[in-house]
Structure 1
Amino acid sequence: MAYTMKETAYGETAAYGGLADAIGGVATIVLAVIGLAGVHGAFLAAIATIVFGVALMIQGGTMLSEFAAIYFPQGLKSDASDVSVDQFGGASLSILFLVGAAGVVLGVLALLGIESAILTPAASIAFGTALVLTSNSVWRLYVLGRASTRSGLGTTQTQAAQMVGREILASDMAAGSAGIQALAGLAAIVLGTLAIAGHQADLTLNLVALLTLGATVVLTGGSLSATVLSFMRPWQQ
């Protein structure tokens, strides 16, 4: 009973974390669009950098906590790829948290007027790099969670059948978001590099990079929520 309550609490916390970073992505999009419209572009770029950094920290912390909560019986193998779970880990997810924190610092410095034309594009490059390096993290979380759930923790045939719909949705969203996140990260790196190199439209390029990053986090935030909800057994809710 205690295990059930703990598992449910972890699932709900992670699902809310996915929603929170998706909201941060929406806020980043709104700020970038307003900036592209010509309303205090440099100021809003710095604010959007801070907001996105916070969203990235939330996403990284949420996924790290969910990795820590998954139960792995000794010798368990993923039924999707027949790969030992020892090859998967949450170490790379710390990059999201650290880069998010660094982005917040850079955004604050830019907001104070310290080399904003350099610091905000640098933050976009860092954000893009973090997204590329962790692009398959949601998929890994899904694979490990599914393997753990089916590892003999007392799941009956009826209970397993109830999970099929959630698993299909979570699988599609997790797999689809991996490629999109990698491409968006690369785009942000390119745009940030052009902006920091002194392109005449550097502010526009940086705002477009932030817009792309925000849209990506909206997607991955929703994917994370769907993935975690697929692990929460219907009879526990």
Structure 2
Amino acid sequence: MSLTSRRESAYRETAAYGGLADAIGGLATVVIAIVGLAGVNAPTMAAIDTIVFGAALLILAGTMLSEYARIIFPAGATASQVEAFGGSSLSVVFLAGVAGIVLGVLSLLGIEPFVLIPISTIAFGSALLLSSNAVWQLRALSQESSRAKGGAKLSSGEILASEMAFGSAGVQALSGLAVIVLAVLALVGVANDLTLNLVALLALGATIVFTGGSLSATLLNFMRTP
């Protein structure tokens, strides 16, 4: 029993650190976008930023999918129930991350960066929009799991984590829409120097910092739940 408890604790800590790593990836995206907007080789900075954000999306999707599976499957749920709680939308996030990394590498090699980078940014924005309520759903599912195990009433930290998760859903949805609009404008040539796309990547990075922080708060508070 003690060994099982230790493994559970180690797993939850790893998942929580995944949320922190995702937030760090978002912060790196913001910094690189600012460097590009400052006039330092915008096409190269945009390509590198696309790769970095794609990796951050992969971390986000992997962390959340593993946490959904850990909570749901021990309760005997089916695969369709996993999808109902966000598994499907998170798969889209994972695919968008992979596609972004590939397109970013191609852009870095000089293959149509003014086309491939906006396309990858549109994919990123769409992925954020589709998965906007994933953190909130994970938080709700964690609370239900805790209650099923006889957990106590919510602490102030858990209430704050719930508010952060709820807030991240709205921020992520609005950011996803704004990013899609900016990337489409960049794609049609409104700003041929990728300025609009760098602004979109800046917004994506800021959003993923908030989402990663909300995810970490959710998992760390769930770790403390008896």
Q: Normalized against structure 2, the TM-score is what?
A: 0.92
Shift of 1:154: 4.7
Counterpart amino acid of residue 217 in structure 1:
I
Query: What pairs with 1:191-230 in structure 2 (closer than 5 Å)?
Result: 191-230=182-221
Counterpart amino acid of residue 10 in structure 1:
Y
Task: Indicate the percent of aligned positions where both proteins have the same amino acid.
Answer: 62
Deviations 1:158-178 (A, max 9, x none): xx25x5122101101000000
- Whether the aligned pair in 2 keeps the contact of 1:10 and 1:66 (CA below 8 Å) is no
CA distance in structure 2 between the partners assigned to 1:56 and 1:188 by the alignment: 15
Which residue number corresponds to residue 5 of structure 1? 6
Query: What pairs with 1:23-172 in structure 2 (closer than 5 Å)?
Result: 23-71=24-72, 73=75, 87-151=84-148, 153-155=149-151, 160-161=152-153, 163-172=154-163
Shift of 1:129: 0.1
Pairs aligned (count)? 221
CA distance in structure 2 between the partners assigned to 1:89 and 1:47 by the alignment: 29
Distance change >3 Å, CA 86–CA 98, structure 1 → 2:
closer
- Whether the aligned pair in 1 keeps the contact of 2:69 and 2:82 (CA below 8 Å) is no
1:38 alignment partner, SS class: coil
Distance change >3 Å, CA 33–CA 127, structure 1 → 2:
same
Counterpart amino acid of residue 70 in structure 1:
I
Shift of 1:200: 3.3
Which residue number corresponds to residue 181 of structure 1? 172
Distance change >3 Å, CA 116–CA 201, structure 1 → 2:
closer
Deviations 1:19-39 (A, max 9, x none): 001101011100000110101
Shift of 1:8: 1.4
CA distance in structure 2 between the partners assigned to 1:10 and 1:166 by the alignment: 21
- Whether the aligned pair in 2 keeps the contact of 1:53 and 1:99 (CA below 8 Å) is yes
CA distance in structure 1 between the partners assigned to 2:123 and 2:83 by the alignment: 28
Counterpart amino acid of residue 117 in structure 1:
F
Higher mean C-alpha deviation, range 206-215 or range 163-172: 163-172
Unaligned stretches of 5+ in structure 2?
Answer: none
1:108 alignment partner, SS class: helix
Counterpart amino acid of residue 214 in structure 2:
S
Unaligned stretches of 5+ in structure 1?
Answer: 76-83
Shift of 1:14: 1.2
Counterpart amino acid of residue 208 in structure 2:
V
CA distance in structure 1 between the partners assigned to 2:82 and 2:184 by the alignment: 37
Which residue number corresponds to residue 17 of structure 1? 18
Counterpart amino acid of residue 184 in structure 1:
S
Shift of 1:223: 0.3
CA distance in structure 2 between the partners assigned to 1:31 and 1:85 by the alignment: 35
